[in-house]
Amino acid sequence: MPSRDVAYALFDADNHLYETQEALTRYLPEEYDGAIEYVNVRGRTKIAIRGQISEYIPNPTFDVVARPGAMEEYFKVGNPTGKTRREIFGEPMRSIPAFREPAPRLALMDELGIRRSLMFPTLASLIEERMKDDPELIHAVVHALNQWLHETWGFAFKDRIFTVPVITLPIVEKAVAELNWVVERGARAILIRPAPVPGFGGTRSFALPEFDPFWKRVVETGVLVAFHSSDSGYARYANDWEGNRREFLPFKPNAFRQVNEWRPIEDAVTSLICHGALSRFPELKVAVIENGASWVEPVLGRLADVYKKMPHEFREDPVQVFRRNIHISPFWEEDMAALGDLIGIERVLFGSDYPHPEGLADPVTYVDHLVKLSEEDKAKVMGGNLARLIDG
């Protein structure tokens, strides 16, 4: 049961499901057979993408997972005694049906006091970066995952669990077709990786006019665009400094990479503004999930400075564009009132990251960190703002 009752319906912007092993392959066309495999490595099951074993997610079966909120103490006080990541995670648990299926999850949401939630896949975050030289394969795998999500979870289960399908953008026509496919099946939000878009001739920003047919259709459908933390491919920049070729490993501590952890979302949001997509499509609704908010003030400051020096490079004030279009789900340990002062409290979203170890074991406790806000503003953050975005 939740630790307390609140007077408003909670709408959690950041919940997760754990995929089963067939999630990426059940609907994958035969021509791509073997592109994704689960293999045994010294007694442990790993995922292999085109024959290359990935350690991005150490246990991709999710049969055993870290307990929800296992890292709360770490985010509250840090790690003064130098515990290992395994010690921080603590004793793991076996996955329960509520992590895998919508009906048990709805019952668990009732226990936790969550009325509605956005439900993000977990395994999806490794797909695009490991296939970036094969756009056709990316589109095929993403569609296979979306078919599995729709069959297993639906995109609007009981109008309470809004599972978020993935949209990949390398081939614009395929991206529009995929968007239409998921919206026709009830999707209210879509997940786009905050990263340059891979393509046949290299990468490019999704905010360039090339992608305008896609963004136009997004506006027409009214879906919310979610940028969730992912593997955005920035390991290649760190590798240039550290002299290796290793993949991004989110659960392996690395001080140098941690300092620049939010660079991908900074670049993604800045591109939307500087490359003009949000000015060409001012009705786009964008939510930044599980990227925190520490990067927001510096980005707004840099945008203001550049606008002062070269206003002719912008169609409109970039700071005001940010405040109009971008919604942020800050981490519970951050100052939500300060963020509200920066972008408007109507742009701040509650997200618990349940049941991931980095999130909250008891999602309703997020409200305890809104002490500087009025009850009216707490109601907006804990559900009202997201309800406006999803319900239209």
pLDDT on residue 234: 84
Crossing angle of helices 263-274 and 296-309, rounded to 10°: 40
Cα–Cα distance, 165 to 159 (Å, whole number): 16
Compute the Cα dihedral for 125, 128, 131, 133 and give only its sign. Answer: negative
pLDDT on residue 387: 98
The whole model's pTM is what?
Answer: 0.94
Compute the Cα dihedral for 255, 260, 264, 265 and give only its sign. Answer: positive
3-state helix/strand/coil string of the chain = CCCCCCCCCCEEEEEECCCCCCCCCCCCCHHHCCCEEEEEECCEEEEEECCEEECCCCCCCCCEECCCCCCHHHHHHCCCCCCCHHHHHCCCEECCHHHCCHHHHHHHHHHHCCCEEEEECCHHHHCHHHHCCCHHHHHHHHHHHHHHHHHHCCCCECCCEEECCECCCCCHHHHHHHHHHHHHCCCCEEECCCCCECCCCCCECCCCHHHHHHHHHHHHHCCEEEEECCCCCCHHHHHHHHCCCCCCCCCCCCHHHHHCCCHHHHHHHHHHHHCCHHHHCCCCCEEEECCCCCCHHHHHHHHHHHHHHCHHHCCCCHHHHHHHHEEECCCCCCCHHHHHHHHCHHHECCCCCECCCCCCCCHHHHHHHCCCCCHHHHHHHHHHHHHHHHHC
- Say if CB 1 and CB 365 are below 8 A apart: no
Cα–Cα distance, 155 to 151 (Å, whole number): 9
Cα–Cα distance, 327 to 387 (Å, whole number): 13
pLDDT on residue 253: 65
- Alpha-carbon distances of 134 from 29, 49, 53, rounded to whole Å: 15, 12, 17
Phi, psi of 48 (to 5 degrees): -120, 130
Considering only CA atoms, which of 380, 350, 353 is closest in space to residue 366?
350
Cα–Cα distance, 373 to 338 (Å, whole number): 10
Phi, psi of 359 (to 5 degrees): -95, -155
pLDDT on residue 250: 62
- Alpha-carbon distances of 391 from 222, 352, 356, 386, rounded to whole Å: 9, 20, 26, 8
- Say if CB 173 and CB 184 are below 8 A apart: no
Written as six digits, the tokens of 28 are 């994958």
pLDDT on residue 44: 87
pLDDT on residue 252: 65
Show pLDDT as tens, one digit a residue, over the chain (392 residues).
Answer: 667 789 999 999 999 999 999 999 999 999 999 999 999 888 889 999 998 888 888 889 999 999 999 988 888 888 888 888 788 888 999 999 999 999 999 999 999 999 999 999 998 888 899 999 999 999 999 999 999 999 999 999 999 999 999 999 999 999 999 999 999 999 999 999 999 999 988 899 999 999 999 999 999 999 999 999 988 888 888 777 877 766 656 656 677 777 778 899 999 999 999 999 999 999 999 999 999 999 999 999 999 999 999 999 999 999 999 999 999 999 999 999 999 999 999 999 999 999 999 999 999 999 999 999 999 999 999 999 999 999 97
Q: Which single residue is written with the structure tokens 């569609």? A: 143
